[in-house]
Amino acid sequence: MNSTEFYYLLGMIGIVAFAVTAVLAVIPKGIDLFGACVMGIITAVGGGTIRDMILDVPVFWSQDLNYIWVSLFASIIAFYGYRLMNKRHIYQLMLYLDGLGVAMFIVQGADKAIALDFGMPVGPVILGLTTAIGGGLIRDVLAGTSTLLMKKDLYAVPLTIGAVLYMILLNEYPDYSNIIGVGCATFTFILRAIAIYREMKVPNWMMLKAYANDQMK
Amino acid sequence: MNSTEFYYLLGMIGIVAFAVTAVLAVIPKGIDLFGACVMGIITAVGGGTIRDMILDVPVFWSQDLNYIWVSLFASIIAFYGYRLMNKRHIYQLMLYLDGLGVAMFIVQGADKAIALDFGMPVGPVILGLTTAIGGGLIRDVLAGTSTLLMKKDLYAVPLTIGAVLYMILLNEYPDYSNIIGVGCATFTFILRAIAIYREMKVPNWMMLKAYANDQMK
Amino acid sequence: MNSTEFYYLLGMIGIVAFAVTAVLAVIPKGIDLFGACVMGIITAVGGGTIRDMILDVPVFWSQDLNYIWVSLFASIIAFYGYRLMNKRHIYQLMLYLDGLGVAMFIVQGADKAIALDFGMPVGPVILGLTTAIGGGLIRDVLAGTSTLLMKKDLYAVPLTIGAVLYMILLNEYPDYSNIIGVGCATFTFILRAIAIYREMKVPNWMMLKAYANDQMK
DSSP string covering A72-119: HHHHHHHHHHGGGS-HHHHHHHHHHHHHHHHHHHHHHHHHHHHHTT-S
Contact C163, C106 (CB under 8 A): yes
Please give the pLDDT value at position C86: 59
Q: What is the enclosing helix (H) or strand (E) of A159? A: helix A156-172
Name the residue of chain B whose CA is nearest to C157's CA.
B34
Residue B214 inside a domain? The answer is no
Please, is A182 exposed, middle or buried when counting C-beta atoms within 10 Å of its C-beta (0-12, 13-18, 19+)? middle
Structural domain count, chain C: 1
Name the residue of chain C whose CA is nearest to B29's CA.
C209
- For chain B, give the mean pLDDT: 86
Residue B44 inside a domain? The answer is yes
Chain A neighbors of C83, CB-CB under 8 A: 208, 211
CA distance B45 to chain C (A): 12
CA distance C79 to chain A (A): 8
The model's pLDDT over A144-200, given as tens digits with 9 standing for 90+, comes to: 888 888 877 778 888 999 999 999 999 999 888 889 998 999 999 999 999 888 877
Chain B neighbors of A29, CB-CB under 8 A: 150
Average pLDDT of span B170-187: 91
The model's pLDDT over B68-89, given as tens digits with 9 standing for 90+, comes to: 999 999 999 998 888 776 567 7
The ipTM of this complex is 0.89
> How far apart are alpha carbons C158 and C209 in whole angstroms?
21
Interface test with B, best of A24, A32, A67, A79 (most B CBs within 10 A): A32
Average pLDDT of span B112-140: 94
- A93 is in which domain, residue-wise? 3-216
The model's pLDDT over A77-86, given as tens digits with 9 standing for 90+, comes to: 998 888 776 5
> How far apart are alpha carbons C153 and C98 in whole angstroms?
13
Q: Is any Cβ of chain B less than 8 angstroms from the Cβ of C216?
A: yes
Residue B212 inside a domain? The answer is no
Q: Is any Cβ of chain C less than 8 angstroms from the Cβ of B31?
A: yes
Please give the pLDDT value at position A105: 92
pLDDT in tens, chain C (217 residues): 676 777 787 778 889 989 998 998 888 888 888 889 999 999 999 999 999 999 999 999 999 999 999 999 999 999 888 877 656 777 677 788 888 889 989 999 999 999 999 999 999 999 999 999 999 999 999 998 888 888 777 788 889 999 999 999 999 998 888 899 989 999 999 999 998 888 777 676 666 654 444 444 3
| C188: helix, strand or coil | helix
Please give the pLDDT value at position A196: 87
Please, is C206 exposed, middle or buried when counting C-beta atoms within 10 Å of its C-beta (0-12, 13-18, 19+)? middle
CB contact under 8 A, B150 and A35: yes
Please give the pLDDT value at position B207: 67
> How far apart are alpha carbons A211 and C83 in whole angstroms?
8
More reliable by pLDDT, B29 or A3: B29
Q: Is any Cβ of chain B less than 8 angstroms from the Cβ of C1?
A: no
CB contact under 8 A, C56 and B56: yes
CA distances from A176 to A34, A119, A173, C73 (A): 43, 22, 6, 33
Q: C32 has which bridge partners?
A: A207
Average pLDDT of span A74-93: 79
Average pLDDT of span A16-43: 89
Q: Give chains near B: 3+ CB pairs under 8 A.
A: A, C
Q: What is the enclosing helix (H) or strand (E) of B150? A: none
Chain C neighbors of A56, CB-CB under 8 A: 56, 58
Please give the pLDDT value at position C1: 63
Q: b/e for C79-112, b at 16 or more Cβ within 10 A?
A: beebeeeeeeebeeebbbbbbbbbbbbbbbbbbb
Q: Is any Cβ of chain C less than 8 angstroms from the Cβ of A116?
A: no
Average pLDDT of span A135-142: 92
Range name among B28-32, B152-156, C179-183 with the lowest pLDDT average:
B152-156
> How far apart are alpha carbons A202 and C39 in whole angstroms?
16
Q: Is any Cβ of chain A less than 8 angstroms from the Cβ of B118?
A: yes
CA distance B6 to chain C (A): 23
